[in-house]
Amino acid sequence: MNILVLCTGNSARSILLESIFNTHAPDRVRAFSAGSQPAGQVHPQSIRLLKEEGHDVGKARSKSWDEFAESDAPEMDVVITVCGSAASETCPVWPGAPVRAHWGVEDPAAAAEPDWATAFQAAYQTLHRRAKALLDLPIETMEQTELIAHLKRIGTLT
């Protein structure tokens, strides 16, 4: 299953969730992340936290969602927005018409620098719980309507 995680800047929340999925279920999902207005670099606290949590950050980069609307892009099964502004934006048309879900999380990058560690850890923990909840399900065999219902419910977990 291919999952695209979207956020406006693609420097924090979307990067975190992409890494969580790819670390914890590399044989079940391929996760990607992108932004509508990419920051151009991954937030340094995202990198720091992911390293602390044992994630490989070698391929982490901030990129535009336009990359995933190209004809040669991987076809997505699920698109998850993790910030309010990306959820309300007009997205490109994704090949394959993937299921869409919104898992909003407060932007840890908006915190004052002295509060980054706490804010990023809180975002990471919420996203980790949500990813685990999805991965605990038999997503490979679910009907689309059932998957949509689970994605919506999981998006409310804190």
- Name every residue whose Cβ is closer than 8 Å to that of residue 96 and which is 6 or more positions away in sequence: 75, 76, 77
Q: Tell me, what's the pLDDT at 65?
A: 92
Q: Tell me, what's the pLDDT at 86?
A: 58
- Give residue-wise pLDDT tens across range 6-31: 998 999 999 999 999 999 999 999 99
- Domain hosting 114: range is 2-154
**Is residue 81 a contact partner of residue 105, using CB atoms and an 8 Å limit?**
no
How far apart CA 82 and CA 101 sit, in angstroms, is 9
> What CATH number does residue 79 fall under?
3.40.50.2300
Please give the tally of structural domains in the chain.
1
* Mean local confidence (pLDDT), 101-129: 96
**Is residue 10 a contact partner of residue 2, using CB atoms and an 8 Å limit?**
no
Mean pLDDT for all residues in the chain: 93
| Segment (H or E) for 81 | strand 78-81
* Mean local confidence (pLDDT), 125-146: 97
Across 57-66, 79-88, 148-157, least confident range: 79-88
Class of residue 134 by CB neighbours under 10 A (exposed 0-12, middle 13-18, buried 19+): buried
pLDDT classification of 97: cutoffs 50, 70, 90: confident
Q: Tell me, what's the pLDDT at 87?
A: 61
Q: What is the pTM of this model?
A: 0.94
**φ and ψ at 54, to 5 degrees?**
85, 20
